[in-house]
Each structure stands twice: as C-alpha cells, then as structure tokens.
Structure 1
Amino acid sequence: MNQNNGMQKRMLIMTLIVFVFFIAYEFLVLKPQQEAKAALAKQEQTQKQNVAPDVNSVDTKMVSTDVNGNPVDMSNSTDALSSKSIATSQIVSTIKTAKSTIEIDTLGRVAQVTLVEEKYKDENANQIKLFESNQLRPLEVRFADANINADAFKVNVVASLANVDATTSSQELVLTQTLNGTVLTKKLTFYPDGHYDLNVSTTNEKQFFITNGFRPNVLADMYAVHGFISKLNDNTLKTIEDGKLDKNENIIGAKFLSSFDRYYTTVIYNFEKSLSITLMPDTKSNPQGFIHGGSDVTFSGFIGPKNHRDLAALNPELIDVIDYGWFTFIAKPMFLLLQFIQGYVGNWGWTIVILTILIKLVLFPLSFKGMVSMQKLKDLAPKMKEIQAKYKDDKQKQSMHMMELYKKHGANPMGGCLPLILQIPVFFAIYRVLLNAIELKGAPWMFWVHDLAEMDPYFVLPVLMGATMYLQQKITPNTMQDEMQKKIFQFLPVVFTFFFLWFPAGLTLYWFINNLFTIGQQYYINSVFERKRAEKN
C-alpha cells in the first residue's frame, strides 16, 4: 500500500508537470516562432511596397488523375504569405451578406471572406479576414483532363453581377468559364446568413473536382484542433489534423467536409446526396479536400465562425463541425448547458461562473471523498513515518504494517487520487468548450474585461487565479514526505499565474471560480475534522 501512496504522488506530479509543459511549449516555443514568421512576412511585404501577390502566379496548379480517377497535384506549392489583401484587379464579383463580405476572383474561387459583425475584429481593430492571399481557395475547380485543367487556370470567368447585395434577401450569381472543350458554369445563391447553395456543371460531360479550400487562418495554435473533419453516412466523424496527412486518402459517402481553425470553418455539405472526397496533402502534410464533381454536382456551403446556433440553424448535423477533441462526448452536452444558462443570464461571463458552480456541486461527492482521504492520511502521517523508520530494511513488513494502519483507520492511499482522475475528463471537456467557443468572442464581463476570448488586459483574473491557487494549496493537507515534491507544488501557483497571463479571460475566469469554490469545500472539510479532533480530546 505504501507503493500505492508513492504512485499516487507520482501521478499527481506527472499530471501537473505535463500540463505546465503543455502551456510552456506554446508560450516559449510556438509563440516566438509565430512572431518571427510574422515579422519576416511583414518585412517581405514592405520590400514589395505593399503590392498584393499575383493570384495566377501563386495559385495556378496542374492536376492529372491516377488510375482511380482521383486528382493528383502536380504543382509545387509555395509557403503561405501572411498578407490577406487581394488585388482588386483579381476580383470579379463582391457579395455582401448580413454577416460577411465574399470576394470572388477571376478564376471563380472565393478569394476572401471578411466578417462584418462588430465583434469580429483582429488585434489591429480591423474586421477579420479569414484567408491568406495565396492559399488553396474555396470553390477552386480542377479537371481530370490535364489540357482543360491548364486552360482553366488561364481563362477568366464571366460574372453575371459585379456586386451582389444579399444582406436582406437571397440573391443569385452565375459564373461562366468558357474553356477549350467545355463550358464550366457555377450557379450560386447567397443568403443573408452567409451560407450559399451551388450547382456546378460542365458541357460535354467533362469530369472535375471542386474543393472547400484550405482552412481559415485566423487562429491555429496547439491548444485547439485545426485541420479537416468530415461526417460520414454512418454518422462517424473523420478528423485529420494539420501536418498529419502523408498520402492521398479517399472518403466515400460523406455528409459534409470542413476545413477549420479554432473558431472558423469553410464547410461544404449535402445531406440528401452524399459526397465522395479525395484528401491530398500539401507540402506540409496538411489535408486538402476535393469533392468528386463528375460533370454536375450540387451542394451547400458556409464560410465563417463556428457559432453553435448559426450552424444548427443551417442543419443540426453541422454542429459536428465543432470538434472538442477526445472529450467531445462530454463537451457537447456541457456546451448546450452553457448556452441554456446564457439564454437566461444574458452574459457569458456570469454564465461561466454559474456553470462552474454547478459542476463543483455535481462533483462535490467525489471531491469530498478525496478531501476526506487526504485529511485521514495527514493525521496518519506521524504513524506512517514511524513504520517507515522501524521497517526501513524490510519493505514487505513495512507494507504489511502500513496496510494494517490504513485498514484500522479507514484510510485509502488512493482515495485522494482516484476522485481527481475521475474529474479529469470533465475538466478537459470544459477546457475545450471554453477554448473553442466563438460565442465568447467580443463578449464582455465586468467593467474591465471586454472580450472573454482574449486575455485579461489588466491581468486581474490571472493574478486572482494564482492567489486562490496558492491559498488552496496552503489549506489542503499535504502528505508528501519528499522535500523536492513539496517545492515543486509550492512553485506551481507562480508558474500557472505566469502562463495564464496570456490565456483567454473566459478560461481564466473558470479556473479562478473553480479555485474559489474548492477553497470553500476544503475549509468545510477542515472544519469537520477539527471538530472531530476537538471531540476526541
């Protein structure tokens, strides 16, 4: 049993160390790399005197087919530039919806989507643009016939309208591309909510493939999953993260395909007639999805935020576009509860507070058992030391007497660890929910927090979180005998405070409230044991 006690300590320490490393890697490694890359891109852009890259020179691709008729990329792609500006000479039609501005380029692709709602602004207070200027663009068509395909990247499309106003009602746009051997026609209907219906057809039954494009590139970090996800006819989900696709892969019978970062998606869906998809890796092994269009295909699409209500309004199955990782089965109902509470409270910050309290109340029986076990072990610590000293040369007798001691006093060395382990899935689920919830974007709480999806500008919440973590540590019974282990735990509040300085305020708020109520629970347990000790004396 003494071995079990040591195992408990090692598991606790390992869990905390892994989590600290998880945070440290993002801040100390990935963030500097991203900043250096951004600085280099900015320098390159300045040297080019802010001239936007030529779409044709960047995106022109040659495609042939393999023996199965799947598209094979024969181009040499270049590293993505950071600039999101598109030359006006490359835009043939601009569509305005109530929630976005969509720009169509000379090859009939979606060149850029700008979110127009007030809350969707970047760090420079500009409306968020979803795509890099030279990435694989949504609605790009590639032909099975290599000669026609080459022609398709040289001939401009003709748009039926240069400007489309779909802010209050649906509007149609027709894009026609007359090629050597076929005419490609895209008939689009845009709706005020930003989604669209599309029929793509060719004459002479020329076979083609069409893509939903590379994912939006607004926020892609190590915390949240980003890459590709598809829902199949059997309702299973297939997710491939960026950097994880090393060869072509076929998907037969898909309801939707989505390319996404933390908050945004470009999704194509058809719930009446399933889609066949070929995934192709780019030069960085990122997944790129191509739908087998045949000579005529119809589907719907949406490019924008992964807002739960907006996706559900299009089709309830599109909620699966939001991927919470391993604990999705817990995270989904937890988000629904969060959304339900917010419907009554009206403020996302106070909703997080209420949800945290509810979770603490539901998990209190588990927490109570763990805290009671820790108190018992603390009371038995002197006797445990005596046994360890008396039988230090006989581990078998030491374990036997330890087991007798635990049995006599009803203590369980794993009692403090097991409840913690059982709560881990719940913790990570709420962590993923708050990390992926675009609903927190632009949502205020109190007078100094104006955006729960961004860091606390005055570091109030991280400091409070660190202070409560320190206080919680001080009042929690510590049964550790090793001085090094004690020092590691004593230093953790400082480490966590440091890294939480840059965490989204909503996530830090959750952790702070969680600590606050854990302190209350611990005070209660401590007082119960103090009364019992007083009664014995």
Structure 2
Amino acid sequence: MLDFIYYPVSFILWCWHKVFGFVLGDNNAIAWILAIMFLTFTIRGIMFKPFVNQVRSMKKMQDFAPELKKVQKKYANDRQRQAQEMQKLQREHGVNPLGSCLPMLLQIPAFIGLNWVLRAFSIQPKDGSPKTNNYFFDQQGVDSYLHAKLFGVNIGDAIHHATVLGGTGGGWNWNVAPVAIPLMILASILTHLTARHSAARQSAAAAEANPQTAMMQKLTMYVFPLGVLVFGAFFPIGLLVYWLSNNSWTLMQQRLVYTKIDKEEEAKKAAAKEKRDSLAPKPGAKPKPGQKPVQQTKATDTPTDSDTETTDETPSDTKQSNGQKDKAGSPHRFAQQGQRPQNGRAQQRKKPASGGKNSGQKGSGQKRR
C-alpha cells in the first residue's frame, strides 16, 4: 500500500550500502550503519530548503508577534473574527503557518519507510522458504543484512520484537539491551537539545501570541525525548542509528542556518543605519569655501525695536558690509536690508522746519534730493 515510500527509501539505502560495502565488505555492520546514516543525510539534504524557509517564517512571526497579540486581545470574545484577522495578518507578512511544520511532516514518511524496510529483512514468507528479496535488495543483500553484527548483536534486532504479518522471533531479547540502551539515551538527549535550541530562537511574545507554537515546543522538548527513551525498545538497532543521525544532523544544521540568518539581519541593520547616517546632516559641519548659507527674507517683514536699535547704533558696520557711503540716518539703509524705518523717525525727517522762507527753501531742497 505504501510502496511509493518503501521503494525510494530502499533504493537510497541500497546505493549507499553498495558504496560502503565496496570498501568495508558487504557483511560488515559498519557498512550498513554508514549506509543508514547517509540515507538520513540524503533525506535531510533534500529537505534543506524547506528547513531554511521554516526558520525565516519563524523569524517573521517573531517580528509581528505584538500585532498578533493586539488582534487576540481586540477580538477575545469573537474567536471566528480573531482567526480571520490573524490569517489576514499572516498573509500580509507572507507567513505560512504550515511552513514551520513542513520539514517535520516530510520526515514522517522517511521514518515509516525505513522502519518497514529494516523490519522486512527479517520477515520470512509464510511457506517457510528463505527470503529472496526486499524491495531493491536481492537475496544476497538480505543475507548480508541478516548476518551483519555490531558487538555481537544483529543490527536488525530490537529489545522487543513484535510479530508482524506472520513473522517469527517475537518477544523480549535482552541480549540486545547493552547496544540498544546507550543508543536510546543518546537519541533522547539529542532530541531534547535540538528542540531546546530551536525554542531558544523564539521570543516569549511570539510563543504567547501563537499558543500552538508554545504547545509544540513543549511536545518536542519533553514528550518526544521521553517517547524515544520508552518506545526505543521496540526499534531495531538500525532505526535507532537513523534517529541518532537525524537529530545530530538537525542540531548541526540549526546552528549553521541560524548563524547565517543572524549575520544577514545584522548586515541589513548596518546598511539601513549607514543609509540614514548618509542622508542626515552631520553635526558641526562647516560650509564649503565660497558657499553662502541660504536665507529667505521677506520684504514685508517688520523689524523689531531691538533690530532697529542695533542697526542705528552700528551704522558703520552696515555701510562697510554693503559697500555704500550712505548717511547713518538715510532711509535707503533700511530699504537695502528689507526693513522699514520706524514711524517716529520717518515723521521726524519729513516734518518741515517752522518759518516761511526757510521752510520753503528746505522743502524745495528736500524735493531736489
């Protein structure tokens, strides 16, 4: 029924066994263990791209976790509207909630396929005849697997063998425990360390905003390692090697990918800061030689008393700066500076002197000016 999973898994295992069997010998248990390990690495290499997408998706979820929390608080009494708004927010940020679960979901078929292929080596036909093939393995490959021993224990044995599809050899095999139990403990510890390292990347706000993520963290950190430690007694030695290799690869891959993504984030922040600094004016910067500061002065502005008094008190400075020889009391001085003389001074200058002729002469003199 699941041959579409069993055949690819057995083909990859067959290829790697041919490689290591050519060097170490077909019946060598180390060749089979290396073949199982590199089967794991091949499958994880295929899933490398989805894993990177998973890490980036988790990073985006951390960035907008406060927004998710606001949506949850706003629609706390309306679960349907809350779910709709959260999905809308995830679409806006380009986050797929299933993307974080994809690598784990893809590992399940590989685990099921390898479990069945390894168990099928020792399942005898119902008529009692010797087994002649196992998917891509011929009779020679089956005999090689059945005779491969690690520390005197066949790699297809488990502490407890279940009878599957009429197979024989069910029951407890405590002679396998000295090899299986250390592998079970190591696999359990690596499972916990891998889950802890992944959970350390997620902030408390992200876990609080997404309860499913917090629940999954607890499952992977405590329930899964405990499950490996308890149910590992039912796994063949080869399957324990797969579990141990898988978690070792995951832990190494997480460290490399997380370090790379952290460097990318730091580079983006440094580039953004450099861009802001280049656009902002530098403090204390002096103008270039010959460059004048731009001043916008309106002709309609009315000078204050302090400005007028300062101008009257230092007429020589004003004449030197303008390059003109006007008199200190000339109205022309105020016009050049865009200012108006005060009303009192203007009226005082325009007021004619008392007396008939003298006043007429002064008036005519003012006109001639």
- TM-score between both structures, scaled by the size of structure 2: 0.50
More helix by share: 2
- TM-score between both structures, scaled by the size of structure 1: 0.35
More strand by share: 1
